[in-house]
Amino acid sequence: MKRLLSVLLAVLMLSSMLAACGSQTSKETSDTVKLAVACPVTGDSAEYGVHFSVAAQMAAEMINETGGINGRTVEIEIFDSKNDAKEAAEVARLIGQDSAILATIGDFSSTCCMASAPIYEENKLVQISPSAGLIDFPQVGPWNFAITGVQSDDGPFLANRVLHETMGVKSYAVAYTNNDFGLNLTGFMNEEAESLGITVTDSEAIASGEKDFTAIVSKMRQTNPEAVVIIATYNEVANCVKQIRQVGWDVPIVISGSSLTDQLVELLGEDVNGIYSNIAFVPSADDENTSEFSKEFTERSGLAPSFHSVCTYDAVNLVCLAARKCGDNLTRETLRDTLAAYTGFDGLMGPVEFTEEGAVHRGSKVVQYQNGTLVALSEYMMPRD
């Protein structure tokens, strides 16, 4: 799998460089529109970069097949932010200085997005993230948008729809990455759980990239919770779950939707089965749109589609449709205004309509891994009735 990812990422980077070379001519003739994709192409989060890059290219090709942006061809250029805030800021400077780039799809984490936000605002350039769920990010300024939904919806969904309604548990222990993502999502979840009478028996902060969960698993087990929730990246989730099972603890496990990746399934093998989570997109043979997207994405990447690939696909489509609405008056500024006011978009992840701050309120489905595959246990619904 790692070799496959390395080869695929090399191809994607080469494609983006070729697109960049072509854009010098396109900039002069004004027959193209270039979108930047900022994502982790290298490093521990590189798989997420594959989801961003492949899905963005798929969306651009679909838009081009249907006339492009008022006859102009959409080009994608990929930038490696490494899921590092300092690197993301440097990438934002490079992107902002390229007047041919209309908008940025990315970055991956809320931390990277917020580090880049002042630079994008200085250059009057939209930054629309497929995966940043921290409500503080779009509130930083008017050039920031996030279509993933906000953690103030995601956390309560895990507590109410998954733990309370589906699993019926009265207590849980939680391990969360000690960063903005982990702290905020866990806080919203725990607050909702308290209102439902669910007890948090133990709460353990973990370092980003943590591999040894021996002490954490022991402490959580001693509190005798009815379930364990892990709010972390797929690498951390896999390490924690494996060590829970290695000590013979058969406690039910819940993870955040952002951890649902093909790599998680590969790392955990049989241990992935039974894990609960939430996500809006579940490929289904009964749904032509999700089925076709899933098949094509897998053929191109060798991976099953995830929350990140689907949100990226929707983000590129939304930006392009907003750009079409701008007509002959397409600039970075008119795109921002049109995007903020856009209504009626219904993507693979569901409808998108931005709040005044540039965020989206979303529902989800309760899902569970069964025989190595995600299965929807509910219909699409909001966190509460």
pLDDT, tens only, 259-287 = 988 889 999 999 999 999 998 888 765 57
**CATH class assigned to 2-150+287-352:** alpha beta
How confident is the model over 33-40, as a mean pLDDT? 97
Average pLDDT over residues 143-151: 90
Q: Which residue has the higher pLDDT, 156 or 28?
A: 156
Q: What per-residue confidence (pLDDT) applies to 2?
A: 42
Mean pLDDT of the chain, nearest integer = 90
Task: Identify the pLDDT of residue 237.
Answer: 97
Pairing of strands 171-177, 126-129: unpaired
pLDDT digits (tens, 9 = 90+) for 314-359: 999 999 999 999 999 999 999 999 999 999 999 998 889 899 999 9
CA distance between the termini of the chain: 41
Query: Is 9 within 8 Å of 46 (Cβ atoms)?
Result: yes
Residue 368: name the closest of 377, 355, 381, 378 by CA: 377
| Pick from 26-35, 59-68, 359-368: least confident | 26-35
pLDDT-derived band at 10 (thresholds 50, 70, 90) equals: very low
pLDDT over 70 (residue 28): no
Average pLDDT (304-321) is: 94
Rounded-to-integer distance, Cα 133 and Cα 114, Å: 11
What pLDDT does 244 receive? 98
pLDDT of residue 336: 98
In this prediction, residues 126-138 reach a mean pLDDT of 90
**Chain region(s) in the chain for CATH 3.40.50.2300:** 2-150+287-352, 151-280+365-376
Q: Are 106 and 137 in contact (CB under 8 A)?
A: no
The per-residue pLDDT for 285 is: 53
- pLDDT at residue number 150: 82
* Region 175-202 average pLDDT: 96
CATH class label, 151-280+365-376:
alpha beta
Residue 25 has pLDDT above 60, yes or no: no
pLDDT reading at 23 higher than 80: no
* Predicted confidence (pLDDT) at residue 288 exceeds the cutoff of 80: no
Q: What is the DSSP string of 15-66?
A: HHHHHHHHHHHHHHHT-EEEEEEEE--SSTTHHHHHHHHHHHHHHHHHHHHT
Residue type, position 226, single letter: E
Residues 9, 47: contact at Cβ < 8 Å? no
Task: With a cut of 90, say whether residue 59 has pLDDT above it.
Answer: yes
Other Cβ atoms less than 10 A from the Cβ of 380: the count is 14
**pLDDT tier at 216 (50, 70, 90 boundaries)?**
very high
Q: pLDDT > 70: what percent of the chain?
A: 91
The answer on pLDDT for 155 being more than 50 is yes
pLDDT, residue 284, reads 66
pLDDT at 286: 58
Say what the pLDDT of residue 3 is: 41
Query: What is the rounded average pLDDT of the residues 306-312?
Result: 91
